[in-house]
Amino acid sequence: MHPINWLIVGAYLTYVVVDGVRRSRGTDEIQGYFLANRSLPWWAVGLSVMATQLSAVTMIGTTGQGATDGLRFVQFYFGLPLAMVILGVTLVPFLRGAGVYTAYEYLERRFGPGTRTLTALLFLLSRGMSCGVIIAAPAVVFSAVFGWPLIWCVALIGIPTVAYTMLGGIQAVTWADVKQMILIVFALLAVVVVLIVQMPVSPGEALHIAGATGRLKVFDFSFNLSETYTFWSGLIGGTFLMLSYFGTDQSQVQRYLAAKSVNAARTSLLMSAYWKIPLQALVLLVGVMVFVYYQFSPAPLLYNPAHESAVVDARGAEYQALQDRYGEAWELREGAARHAADRAAAQEAAAQEAMNDFLAREADVQLIRTEALSMAEEVTGEPSRDVNYIIPRFVLGELPIGLAGLFIAAIIAAAMSSISSELNSLSTTSIIDFYRRWFRPEASDAHYLKVSKVATAFWGVFACFVAVYAVSLGSLIEVVNRFGSFFYGSILGVFLLAMVSRARGIGAFFGLIAGMGAVAAVTVFAPDVSFLWHNVIGAATVLGVGVVLMGRSVAPPGRSSTR
């Protein structure tokens, strides 16, 4: 990468750490460190919430998803507006009025320490793993493109983020998120402009080609439990996932607990409801436009440079023959793509004939790529899913000097915003729900702050280990949501049960165990069921068990049966 690009990346990393140190003022008490003294304005909280979601997984995995699968993924967020409205009138005033540091702290008042501890533990496991996936996304960029060991790339992202999170707490995290969100949106818009300028066809013709391959298809109204991205899975399963994420995940709850008021917290959530889907569509559109760009500019046969190098070393002659076939097929497809673009405004029969020819050539190219991916899997013994490498290769190979550095900085910004938020919430839950609750209930704020910084470092190391493993699991945006969906539905069920006046601690505790068991059983014995439905299954199971056990007097662990 050009030195100017490195200068931009280095300047950004330095700025974020220095700003984190500056924001550490006023965080010498746990309320300031964990909740910013409940003083944050709604727009800062709203941008921080959006920045936490718009991670490097989004910048790399979602754009790659757009390039390979089109806009269908946006259906995943159709339940978001509904979830935000529900949370605004239920859990937001509920938890704000409780005066708690964590969402799980409230559960002890309602159901006892056993339910609180188990729920908090599940959050720590799910969020710790998801944080690892988010670190993995930018690590992929550096490892694949520069040939650096993955563990060093993970450290490059993780260490600066852990540093400013430890120093500044939620105050530093939130205001860093605001700046990072601006950088991310600017970088995405700049890439769209560059793609439009560099492509040899008009934007309308580009979209015509993308539409012919199905990449502009948004809605799928089929009701199929094994299909992840449909209107119904997004509306129903997505609503449960978003209710769980924004209503019970401490990384999000901590945001609106730090807001100035209940109204400020509600408005910050509505900001996501209005803007998340258009922003996600923009991210996917970048991927779609990259796909069209590569119809007219040579693309790598394998986007993962490490796998490409391994295949060349092990089966060079065979791979070269495949490369020759790919080159010929690509030239034929490129000519067909230009012809289809030229005929877009022609009579229907001529336009359709040109487009059919292009689609046939596209199928030939994809068939050869499938052979190359299979060869890579045989040589490396690893899944060769290179969806996460498409955008990194495009950014560093095609973008102008300066803009490439800006986009890499935006990827790092997206990673940092999500990682810092999650590390801060992991630290908060570790200290409030475990350390202070079970080990040191009486200690000074200075002591809790010191231990919280140790907890931040621990979870940072844990996430880095997960990151090394997560890279091989496929589309990172799917991996992070798969991790979350395994836990989220059951956790949501406990909070829904808390709103039922007759619900008892035994129902919540054993309902949570049953919910996790039901999701695990579906994962093992019905793997074709999409992970989005796991949220519905988990929540419904917890509620069902909780209702059945309403009249029982047996107490869950940590609480007597007397009420």
Mean pLDDT of 363-392: 85
∠ CA 47-48-49, rounded to 5°: 90
Q: What is the DSSP letter of 259?
A: B
Q: How far apart are CA 163 and CA 457, in angstroms?
A: 8
For residues 539 and 487, is the Cβ–Cβ distance under 8 A? Answer: no
Q: In the chain, what are the domain boundaries?
A: 3-294+395-548, 305-383
Q: How far apart are CA 139 and CA 156, in angstroms?
A: 8
Which ranges in 471-531 belong to alpha helices (H)?
476-498, 505-525
With a pLDDT cut of 70, the percent of the chain lying above it is 91
Q: What is the DSSP letter of 235?
A: I
Mean pLDDT of 487-513: 89
Residue 562: per-residue pLDDT: 38
With cut-offs at 50, 70 and 90, classify the pLDDT of residue 103.
confident
Place of tokens 């709850």: 253
The residues, ordered by sequence, that sit 6+ positions from 439 with a Cβ below 8 Å of its Cβ are none
Q: How far apart are CA 287 and CA 408, in angstroms?
A: 16
Nearest alpha-carbon partner for 511 in 525, 528, 530, 494: 494
Produce one character per residue of 404-439: b if its CB has 16 or more CB atoms within 10 Å, e if not.
bbbbbbbbbbbbbbbbbbbbbbbbbbbbbbbbbbee
Mean pLDDT of 483-501: 86
Nearest alpha-carbon partner for 370 in 269, 302, 313: 302
Q: How far apart are CA 386 and CA 300, in angstroms?
A: 11
Q: How far apart are the first and last CA of the chain?
A: 65
| Amino acid (one-letter) located at 347 | Q
- Tokens (6 digits) for 487: 């836990």
Of 235-244, 326-335, 489-498, the least confident: 235-244
pTM tops 0.75, yes or no: yes
Question: Sign of torsion, CA 268 250 56 204?
Answer: negative
- Tokens (6 digits) for 155: 């450290």
Q: What is the DSSP letter of 230?
A: S
Whether pLDDT at 117 is above 90: yes
Of how many residues is the chain composed? 563
For residues 515 and 507, is the Cβ–Cβ distance under 8 A? Answer: no
Nearest alpha-carbon partner for 499 in 558, 432, 546, 553: 546
Produce one character per residue of 222-234: b if its CB has 16 or more CB atoms within 10 Å, e if not.
eeebeebbbbbbb
Place of tokens 């999170």: 165
Nearest alpha-carbon partner for 296 in 224, 347, 365: 365
| Amino acid (one-letter) located at 482 | R
Nearest alpha-carbon partner for 165 in 454, 558, 536, 563: 454
**pLDDT per residue as tens digits for the range 222-256:** 888 777 788 888 888 888 888 888 888 888 888 88
| Amino acid (one-letter) located at 35 | L
| Amino acid (one-letter) located at 194 | V
The residues, ordered by sequence, that sit 6+ positions from 135 with a Cβ below 8 Å of its Cβ are 154, 157, 158, 415, 419, 463, 464, 466, 467
Residue 563: per-residue pLDDT: 37
Query: Taking the mean position of all CA atoms in its chain, how far away is CA 133?
Result: 8
Nearest alpha-carbon partner for 246 in 260, 230, 257: 257
CA distances from 425 to 84, 242, 432 (A): 20, 17, 10
Q: Does domain 3-294+395-548 have CATH number 3.20.20.80?
A: no
Whether pLDDT at 1 is above 60: yes
Residue 64: per-residue pLDDT: 83
**pLDDT per residue as tens digits for the range 415-457:** 777 788 888 889 999 999 999 999 998 888 889 888 988 999 8
Residue 472: per-residue pLDDT: 60
Nearest alpha-carbon partner for 18 in 183, 180, 168, 177: 168
With cut-offs at 50, 70 and 90, classify the pLDDT of residue 348.
confident
Whether pLDDT at 476 is above 70: no
**pLDDT per residue as tens digits for the range 164-181:** 777 766 777 777 778 878
More confident residue, 451 or 21: 451
Whether pLDDT at 20 is above 70: no
- Tokens (6 digits) for 57: 């997984």
Of 305-314, 318-327, 412-421, the least confident: 412-421
Q: What is the DSSP letter of 400?
A: P
Nearest alpha-carbon partner for 56 in 408, 305, 470: 408
Q: How far apart are CA 308 and CA 300, in angstroms?
A: 9
Q: How far apart are CA 120 and CA 412, in angstroms?
A: 29
Q: How far apart are CA 531 and CA 522, in angstroms?
A: 9
Place of tokens 């490129």: 334
At 458, give phi and psi (nearest 5°). -60, -50
Q: How far apart are CA 127 and CA 218, in angstroms?
A: 29
Query: Taking the mean position of all CA atoms in its chain, how far away is CA 309?
Result: 29
SS (H, E, C) 520-563: HHHHHHCCCCCCHHHHHHHHHHHHHHHHHCCCCCCCCCCCCCCC
CA distances from 560 to 112, 114, 116, 163, 235 (A): 9, 11, 15, 43, 40
More confident residue, 113 or 470: 113
